[in-house]
Each structure stands twice: as C-alpha cells, then as structure tokens.
Chains A and B, each alone.
Chain A
Amino acid sequence: MNKEFNLTIKDYESGFFPTWCPGCGNFSQWRAIRQALVELEIPKEEVVLVSGIGCSSHMPNFLDVYGLQTVHGRGIPVATGIRLANPELTVLVYAGDGDIYGIGGNHFLHSCRRNVDIITIVSNNFVYGLTTGQASATTPVGTFTRTTPRGSIENPLNPSTIAISAGATFVARAFSGDLKHLAYVLKEAIDHRGFAYVDVFSPCITFNKNQTFDYFRERVYKLEETEHDKEDYFSALDLSNQRFVKDKLPIGIFYQIEHKTTYEERDFSLNQGIIPAHAPLDLTEEQIETITAEFY
C-alpha cells in the first residue's frame, strides 16, 4: 500500500451525474471502474479513458481522469496511439457493442493480436441504444428491433471467442448486475500485462426487453467458482462459446496468459525505455549522420 495514495472512489467523479436512464447497466460500471482504479492506487492523472459513440461512450464525461471521446468505433486505435506514445499511462477503452463489435470490429480484431497493454471494456446491451433501438452485432437471431421488425435474421457474433482466437491475452466477461464481481474482473484486467478485454452484460432497460437484468441473473455463473483453468486455451474457447449451446452463461476470466510479450516489449524504440511523448525533439549529430548517410 502506498501511504501517499489517499484518493477515494468519489474523487474519480467529474461532478456531472450520468445522463443514462435510471437503472441502466452502465451505472455499476461507472462505479466499478473507479473502484478498480482506487484499489490499484492509480493516480487520476495517469489514467486515460477513451470512448467512442453511444450511451456507454458518454462515460469519460463522468470521470475525473483524462477523458477522450472519439468518433464511432475508433476508441481502440486512439487508445493504442496514446499508450505507445506514453507507456507509463493506464489506458482504457470504454464503449458499447455497436461501437466495438460493429463499426469498430476491425480494430477490435487487430488489438487482440497486437497485444498493446490497453484495457477494452465493452458495455454489451445487445442493441443500439442511443439511436433508439436497432439490432447490433450481438443481437440474437429472431429478436424484434426497429430495424428487424420481423425478427433479426443475422447470426450474432460471439466476441469473447473471437478475442481468444485472435490472440488476446486476457479475455473476461462480467455482468452489470453483480458489482462486486464486475469490479474484481476490471481490477484484474487493468492489472494484466498486455491487451485485456472484458465484455460486460449490461442491460438496456429502455430498448431491450429480452436481455434484462432478470434474464442474466437466472443464467450467469462465476468461473471463479468452478474448476476452470484460465490458462487452458481450449477450455476457454469452449466456455466462451457456451451461450450458444446451453442456457447457462459463464462470467469471469475465460483466459489469461502472462508469458506472451507485449507490443511495448517488442517495439524497437519502446524496449529501450523511450517515452516518445517526452523524448527530446532535437536530433543528435550521430542520428543525423546515420539517417542521411544514404543520400550522399
């Protein structure tokens, strides 16, 4: 414990009360993120929270950290740039399923294989909420939404399975209705060395009458209460896929390995301990000679 660290969960609030619907699943994530940061004793100025567009992406408005809201789906690349420019920072991406799995799907896939040490938290409500209820990439087949009035005819993605197979080194799932477990999972994710990804079942109380708090309460069980070995790749793949085969939904850490080197450890500049954001701007004589030799 750092004696000088005396911040509380309250200290990480921006002073603006969230504009989400009362009862929204995002509230407990607002609390859990702050709780994890306090427990890990990460000072406010060393945290950057990057979001996209959507209800959940309003999150940085409500936190007293460095907060950056990007355009729709682009939180991951912006966060990656931040982290590579200054690897001393704790960089979180917080956005919804439409943002990360839909429009930002390409970045999600590549961030998994790239293993830059950022944390991606997806508030997954299985619907587009801010645009008043359309089908998303995780909406189950047959769901009635405003764009699928005859029931959705597309198969949904299973993002956790994708993350594991794409090479993510930390893949977990949590539920907004279980704050204690959620805070635990987020803390583990932030503490993880390498790319960490958490899918959070987070009911939309206004536009989703299917995936409700009760729906999840009846189905979720904690992996931490089972024999699951989170370093077992195939077991992780199997468990993350179970929502399609059984009416049981595991939450907790599917997969975590620490032995894989991070992007930062492999990068030829960062592995010299350089922090690009603070490095001197002027070239040295020696550098000038090296980079211009071929032109003479």
Chain B
Amino acid sequence: MKKDVIIRFVGSAGDGLVSIGILFSKILKKHNFNILGFRSYQSVIRGGYNTYQIRVCNNKVLSVGEEADIIFLLNKNVAELHKPTEGSKAMVIYDNDSFDLEDLDYPEDIKKLPIPLASITKEISKLRILKNIVGFGAISQILGLDETLIKEVIFEQFGSKGEEVIFTNNEALEKGIKYAEEHNWPELWEKHKYEKAQQMLISGNEALALGMLSAGLKFYSGYPMTPATSIVHYLTKHLPKLGIIVKQTEDEIAAIGMAVGASYCGARAATGTSGGGFSLMTEIIGMAGIEEIPLVVISSQRAGPSTGMATKTEQADLFQAYGASQGEFPKVIIAPYDVEDAFNVGIEALEIAEKYQVVVIVLMDLYLSESNSTVRKLDLRRKNKRFEILDNPPEDFRRYQFSENGISPRTIPGTKNGMFFTGSSERNEAGTSLASTLAGLPDTLPIRVKMVEKRMKKLDTLVKELENPQLEGTENAEITIVSWGSTINIVREAVLHLKEEGITANHLHLKYLNPFHEEVVTKILQKAKTTLCVEQNYTGQLRDYIRMKTGVNIEHKLLRWDGEPIVTSQIVAKVKEVVKNE
C-alpha cells in the first residue's frame, strides 16, 4: 500500500518546534519510512507563528507537501492563527485543557481531536515538555506505529539523562496511545512489524559538512548567519575528535581571510555564510582567485535584499556569486540539489578547489540547508589524495609557471627552497609583481596577457571533467522544465503528477553553473517543444543566465519570491496553462 502522510506541528518560537520535529522524524525513520522535514519560521526567539512539517512516505519523498493530514497545535495563539483548509480533511490535535476550538470557525470536514494533555501529563510529572510525548503517543496510534520502536528512540534521545527521564517519557507515550485508543481516534494505517532502518536522517548543511570532512576538511571559519550557521554548529560539536580548526571570527572578511591563509598553508579549508556575509567576502574571493589559492566558499541563499527575510528561502544570489569580486578569474559555481547531493558536493568542492587552485562557490539555499531528510547511509570512507603540491621543488621552481591546463604546482610554507612571493597584484611566473617591483618594464604586458589566459584556461579543462547535464524523462515531451538548486525534487514530483494527468514533461536540472556546459544545454533546449524555467526569485536569474551563456530564450517562467518553497501543485498548474496555450 502506498503510504503518504503529512504531519504539521504548529507553534510559536520558544515551543521547541525543531526538537519536536526532529524527534518525531527520528521515530518515523526508525520505522524505515522515508521522510522530509522542513521548518517554516520567523527571525525571532519568542512568539510568532511557526510550523514544522514532516512528510512521511514509503517511497522517496520528493517534497514536503502542501495540505497537512495531521495537525498538532501547540498553543492557543497559533490555534487562532491557524486556518485549516476546506477539503483537506485534516485531523487537528490540540490540548483541550489549555484551550478549545469551539469558537473558531473550522470547515466541516476538519476533524477536531481534543486531548487533555495538561492533566494527563500532571499525573506523570511536573515536566510540561512531556505533553509533546503524550501527543506523539496519540499520533502514533493514528499511524499504527510500533510502541517498542518509539521507546528505542526515546532511549537513544534521553538515555544519558537517567532512568527516571526514560521512565516518565515512556509513561507519557503509553498514556497518549491509550487515550487515542479509548477515544476511538481514526487509524490511518494498520499496525504491523517494521524492518530495521538503515538510512540516516540529516539536514542539507550537515550532509555538506560530512562531505567536506570526508574529503579532508581541516579548517572552517565563519561568522554566524542564517542559514549557514548550522554548519559551524555541527563541525564544532566533534572538534577535538576530528582535530580540525573551526573558527568563529569577528566578521565575514576575517572568516574568508583565515580560510585563505589556512589553505595557502596546505590545509583544506572552507568558509560559509549567506548573501550579506558573502558581500563582505567578495574582495578576498578575487584575491584567492589571482593568488590561485584553493578555497571553498559556501553561500546559502535566503530571501533578500539586505536583511530581507532572514529565515525564508530564495534563489536570488546567482548573479551575486557569478559577479563576485572585480576583474576576471576562474570561479567555479556549484548548486547542490538535495541532501545527498550536498554530501557529494562537499567532497567535490574541496577536490576541485585544490586540484585547480581555484575558488569554488557552493550555492545552497535555505530550503536545502535546513531540510531534514532520510538518505541512504552516506559512505565517509575515502582514500583522499593531494593535488599539485611539491615537497621537493626543483631549483628553477616558479610558482606560477605557464602550463597546458593552466595549473602550476605549488609549494606550501615550511618547504625548503620553495619560497615564493604572491600578492593580489598581477605577476610573472616567479610571482614577482608586475604592478610594483617590475612596473613599467617593457615585457610586462605580454606576461599579463599570458597570465590571465593561464588562469582562465583552468575552466576549459574543468568543464570537461564535470558531468554533463542530463535531460530527465521522455525525449519528446510536451514541455521541458528547467530548474536549479533545491527545487529539483519538487519538479520531479510535478512531472509525475502531470504524467498521471496525461501530460508529458521532461526536466533539465543544472548543478554546475560555472563553468557551464553551453553546448549540451543549447542542444537540449533547442530540441524542446516548449520550455519553462522554475525558480525561487522575481527576475528569473537562471533563465537570464542561460540566455547569456547560450543565446537560448526559455519561453516561460514560474517564479516564487514570497520566501516559501515552490510547491508541486504550482508547477502542475503552470505547465497545464502553458501546454494548453501552445
């Protein structure tokens, strides 16, 4: 039987929505379900209207979904703010000791499920937080979950806090289950035995961090900024065990400066931020570019401009990344598309940076950074190798020696006879500055020309190494949908829905934005019957970018810039409209 249910926890900042969401996700994961969880929140510490939505399926979860099937209201204020949609047939669970929904105008098909959480909890302990566990018990009865497996999660979560905590949590769970049973709550799924789960439950940012660690990350610096901060939080947690340096700095300029210093010294290094911090980093991005120092810069996009909507998602920083820093230098831009891909990109970014001695910008977005998803077990075991680092430089060592592919071997400080000068000014092969030391000498102009060519050549070599973009789906579809970043699976889900409705769509998703596979993309788009670009921004940045790179004009666009992730039904509706008018 196909299982697909959406559970939404609704509360305010301070209600502990994230811990509730993650804990319930762990319970579902334990039952070998696939899940995707996403928090919608505001930039405040207390109050507001926040949700944590979990979609649980036995197939791969493609989006966090739209209408919730089960809603758990955590306080009176949100009960009033929450508007259940007519026709959604949602079940609304709430604590009728604290508030009632009698005076609220709910559609008829909404099923209200009151449960006296406060009085049930009071029988067990003074801890108010236990109310959530009682609620979990009741929801698990609806979903036919296995009590033993839930208790395993409780043990894993609270085991370190002692037996009494485990005992009271278990009791709360049992009372929740019992209450739902005795009051004949609906049972969506039958109870049955579940296989032991093997997959991981992890966020996009954590997966990216794991990828980087697996590829030998030794230095990470950052200044707190949503939605990139959780990378630092995760890396710091295991710091002594990993023996890496994680540095919170005075600003993003220092963050990128330190990462460049560490990388120059031979440590694989990265820094991370969001658009505002990225703005501060741009000058040093250019410096690393001309000095050919490997560097990974993560920028997780959120709704701008300026502070914009700090906790909301957007994909509006493509041109910021592409245009970061003055002048021309090779700059790699990769946009990971889902949680598992973020892991792969973590590895790939550090390797490309070191091999090509370039800046690699990893363009995440809030929806991907903060989505919690089940993924297959990620394999962190790797045999990493180093690229182009000389231990015994030859006598005539020139740090910026001209070469076929633009890459010159480097030395790192501490290496005998490997000393060289590098600076943010243009130089000759030995590193000597054309702008000061050799300024005005007649042969500096041709050297400048060749030095720019040398650096830019790296992208020509790299583009051949990167996997070509693939057209997913049937060749002669009625429409080709183009996307980038975290919307990939939402588009995939829309394509499936369209198929059920008899409309064929195929899908071109772009992960490598610079260097760009111009010929491949041009060919695919020229063959398309009609094209639609799906993006989380106002202007259609990818659409403009593709036109700039290929001359191909994508005919239609579906844009969303309210800060919430694009949903499947939007894409389906847009495609229907386009196909109808063709």
Contacts and interface: CB of A to CB of B under 8 A. Distances in A.
Taking residues whose C-beta sits less than 8 angstroms from the other chain, chain A's interface range is: 35 or more
B268 A281 contact: yes
Contacts of A85: 218-219, 245, 261-263, 265-267, 269
Given A70-B257, A71-B284, A276-B219, A61 B437 contact: yes
Contacts of A60: 421, 423
A32 interface: no
Given A68-B422, A274-B243, A45 B414 contact: yes
B262 A74 contact: no
Contacts of B406: none
Interface stretch (A169-177, A204-212, A262-270): A262-270
Contacts of B420: 66-67
Nearest to B200: A295
Contacts of B202: 295
Interface string A151-185: 00000000000000000000000000000000000
B416 A268 contact: no
Contacts of B218: 85, 276-277, 279, 281
A223 to B, nearest CB: 30
Nearest to A106: B250
Nearest to B238: A291
Given A276-B243, A295-B202, A61 B421 contact: yes
A288 B381 contact: yes
A268 B267 contact: no
B216 interface: yes
A89 interface: yes
B262 A277 contact: yes
Given A45-B418, A77-B249, A61 B269 contact: no
A81 B262 contact: yes
Contact of A88 (B201, B258, B261, B414): B414
A2 B219 CA distance: 34
Interface in B385-414: 386, 412-414
Interface stretch (B49-57, B64-72, B206-214, B536-544): B206-214
Contact of B423 (A61, A110, A285, A292): A61
A16 B437 contact: yes
Contact of A45 (B247, B386, B417): B417
A48 interface: yes
Given A45-B415, A85-B266, A78 B260 contact: yes
A274 B378 CA distance: 27
Contacts of B260: 70, 78, 81
A82 B239 contact: no
A19 interface: yes
B508 to A, nearest CB: 32
A282 B350 CA distance: 13
B349 interface: no
A87 B206 CA distance: 29
Contacts of A107: 250, 253-254, 257
Interface in A37-95: 43-46, 48, 50-51, 53, 58, 60-61, 64-71, 74, 76-86, 88-89
Given A69-B422, A269-B239, A282 B384 contact: yes
B424 A71 contact: yes
B258 A84 contact: yes
B238 A290 contact: yes
Nearest to B350: A281
Interface residues of B, number: 72
A276 B262 contact: yes
A69 B425 contact: yes
Nearest to A65: B419
Interface string B186-221: 000000000000001110001000100111101101
Contacts of B437: 16, 19, 58, 61
A270 B425 CA distance: 33
Given A269-B245, A276-B219, A86 B265 contact: yes
Given A46-B414, A281-B216, A89 B210 contact: no
B240 interface: yes
Contact of B416 (A45, A84, A290): A45
A132 interface: no
B238 A71 contact: no
Contacts of A226: none
Nearest to B325: A71
B316 to A, nearest CB: 27
Interface string B267-278: 111000000000
A267 B519 CA distance: 50
B269 A64 contact: no
Contacts of B251: 106
B424 A70 contact: yes
A245 interface: no
Contacts of B284: 70-71, 74
Contact of A67 (B206, B253, B259, B422): B422
A84 B245 contact: yes
Give me the 8 closest cross-chain CB pairs, A-B, nearest first: A81-B261, A281-B216, A77-B257, A69-B423, A81-B258, A85-B262, A281-B384, A77-B254
9 contacts: A45-B413, A53-B424, A74-B253, A77-B261, A86-B266, A269-B239, A269-B245, A291-B238, A295-B200
Interface of A: 14, 16, 19, 43-46, 48, 50-51, 53, 58, 60-61, 64-71, 74, 76-86, 88-89, 106-107, 109-110, 267-270, 272, 274, 276-283, 285, 287-288, 290-292, 295-296
Given A281-B268, A290-B238, 9 more contacts: A68-B422, A69-B424, A74-B283, A82-B413, A85-B269, A110-B254, A272-B240, A277-B267, A282-B383
